[in-house]
Structure 1
């Protein structure tokens, strides 16, 4: 049997791969700095709770919203990179004749885990509280501060701690793995290898990224809840819409 009929298709797929792989690589790598900036700003608030508790965390969060909750900023500086980054990596894997790394690699596992966790986090903290129907009645931005997070920590401590710390750890681990890939791809020829070993960089990222967030959350968790009972009921209804907080 002749293989002639399949050769044009194979040639097309080969050309498609040659064109798309470099483009998808640039998209995945280029979106990473935007995500890193957002994560740094977003996590600054719980870290500052180490110094001033929930009140200071909420104030810092309001300042951060000037970057990531403006009509332009949220769409194009936060949500677009958060969607483009995993999609471009997924398309690169699907279209590649031989993926650059196994699906079971740390970079892949943490990346897809972060994508799913971020989607759940966004639903829990943005979409569900914005529901205008009773009993939530659209918790507004002025009401949706770190008292909301504190309520979740006190009402569902195990699930909340697992969710927040697990997401932070996965982001930190994926960031250090991805940084190594980007460095080796674009910067290593000019600046040399990254300092330290892979293990030390991973441990450093986890300690620097997770520990201050965890201690800040601990200080918030220990504080009394400073919301009216009616607000607490709305908070509870919003959290209960999320699969993580289903009874």
Structure 2
């Protein structure tokens, strides 16, 4: 599709599954969690109960690994009718620690894209999750030098973006967001009059999926981050 990015001065990047791998580790941990509780329920039921618990807890714990671990612990207690062993609870906590200790795996082309864009545009990171974990991943990634600002948001709704852009004194017409989630990185920006680019990741959390009815906008979709260089001269 034809796009006009000539007015863009500031580019926001999502972090998880846009700059580096993230959702894959959640899926792997869900598999391990289901295996720990296989004596109590089927895998399908365990997956459903964990997802239900995660969504219920979002307002309390927010996004990120720590909230995910607490939801696993609560789910284990409920699924087992409080019969799950202390050893299993300890193993669940270790699953969470393993996630937090994962090395940062950059997605293809990320350093190249940031290196080419940083001289013309003001680059910022806009992500959700746990503040400490996201700061740690950014430091491990080696990408800090490319960004003027890093913001870890409690959520990515229109009001969150409006507040942040106002705070950073960024004109919405001069802002472009790039991310893997239609629900969090694309549709809210289009809703406030900014521009956005969708770079899908091969795995998407169910909570981030959108229906055809919700997705009523036209926007640029690229298959890999490097493709954005053809549109940003």
State if a TM-score over 0.5 links the two structures: no
TM-score band by shorter chain is under 0.3
Scaled by the length of structure 1, what TM-score is found?
Answer: 0.24
Scaled by the length of structure 2, what TM-score is found?
Answer: 0.25
Higher strand share goes to which structure?
Answer: 2
The structure having more radius of gyration, on CA atoms, is 1
